[in-house]
Structure 1
Amino acid sequence: MAATGEEAAAMDSISKAPIPPSALNIKTDPDSRLENTSVEGVTESQPPVSKKGSNNNDGSVETAEEAVEPAEPDIDELCKDMFDKMAVFLQGELTATCEDYKLLENMNKLTSLKYMEMKDISINISRNLQDLNQKYASLQPYLDQINQIEEQVTALEQAAYKMDTYSKKLEAKFKKLEKR
């Protein structure tokens, strides 16, 4: 993901390439074991310089310093360019990763909200189910009475059919008797 415009300017200001050694103002203190270099308020510590002893009779110690060749300007520019481009690349990678995490965070928030909605819905369903169970329990005696009345009506209907059949038989006998 390449940065453009303001993002690129922000990336450039954040990631500056290290200063090449040839641009450093090196000040050496012969009595100190460390060399301190400073450029624009930045201090770097150098490892202690190795000292070689000599067989002098006066007991003094001779010090030797490592000769540092200045880097070629082409290499310095190429290194600086490489570090700048690497910084832009890494900044783009980090930005993409941050965007992925923001997306995941938003998805998690939405999922959490959906689960909260589903929880509310299930609580409402549970509450309504309890209300229905209570209403059914309060109606149960009336439903039992309706079942009893239905059974009685069925028994009365059977009795009425039997009486109708019996009365038809009686009528038939009575007509038979009248004809004789």
Structure 2
Amino acid sequence: SQYHKMADTKEAKAGPSPAQPEIQETRDVFRKMSEYLNAEISASTHEYQLLGKLNLIVANKYKGMQEKASKLNSFLRGLDEKYAKLEPYLKQVNQLHDNVAKMEQVVVKLDEYTKDLEEQFKAVYK
């Protein structure tokens, strides 16, 4: 860097100073600190890129789930419409079932009555 060049030039003109090892250690510390911070920033950048990719994947997955839910909702609406159209017929089937049950009761009573009549008829003609 420009600072380092100027410092080197000044040191070359002034000659070696007694603080030379401390200056070199300070430069090393700053260089290592710079490398460390660059590595941390690079790692953070990679993490944010990964998070961005994960967010895209999740967003696409949720979009697919939304589409499936929308299709399911449409399907259920269609079923509701079909049930609404069938409901009058289902009521008629239930009424028919009730009427058949009542007719079965009438048939049982009629059968019992005809058996009683048959017994009475047999008793009269014996």
The 5-angstrom pairing of residues 1-180 of structure 1 reads 18-19=3-4, 21-24=6-9, 72-179=19-126
Q: CA deviation at 1:169?
A: 0.6
Check 1:155–1:76 CA distance in 2 against 1; reply closer, same or farther (3 A cut): same
Which structure's residues are more often strand, by fraction? 1
Percent identical across equivalent pairs? 32
**Structure 2, unpaired ranges of 5+:** 11-16
| Structure 1 stretches lacking a partner, 5+ long | 1-15, 26-69
Q: CA RMSD in A?
A: 2.3
C-alpha distance in 1 between matches for 2:99 and 2:56: 63
How far apart are the structure 2 equivalents of 1:17 and 1:163?
120
If asked which structure has higher relative contact order (CA below 8 Å, sep 6+), I would say 1
Is the radius of gyration larger for structure 1 or structure 2? 1
- Give me the whole-angstrom Cα distance separating, in 1, the residues matched to 2:68 and 2:58: 15
TM-score after normalising by structure 2? 0.82
Go from structure 1 to structure 2 and tell me whether the alpha carbon gap of 1:177 and 1:100 turns closer, same or farther (over 3 Å shift). Answer: same
Provide, for residues 113-160 of structure 1, a one-character-per-residue CA deviation record: whole Å limited to 9, x for no partner: 122112111101110011001111111121122112112211111111
Instruction: Number of aligned residue pairs: give it.
Output: 121
Measure how far apart 1:17 and its partner are. Answer: 8.8
Distance 1:17 1:101, change over 3 A: farther
Q: Distance in 2 between matches of 1:128 and 1:71?
A: 86
The alignment's TM-score, normalised by the length of structure 1, stands at 0.59
- Using the alignment, how far apart are the partners of 1:110 and 1:142 within structure 2? 48
C-alpha deviation, 1:104, in angstroms: 1.8
Q: Could you say if the C-alpha distance between residues 91 and 176 of structure 1 is closer, same or farther in structure 2, counting changes exceeding 3 Å?
A: same
- Summarize deviations over 1:10-31 as a string: whole Å, max 9, x none: xxxxxx6941653246xxxxxx
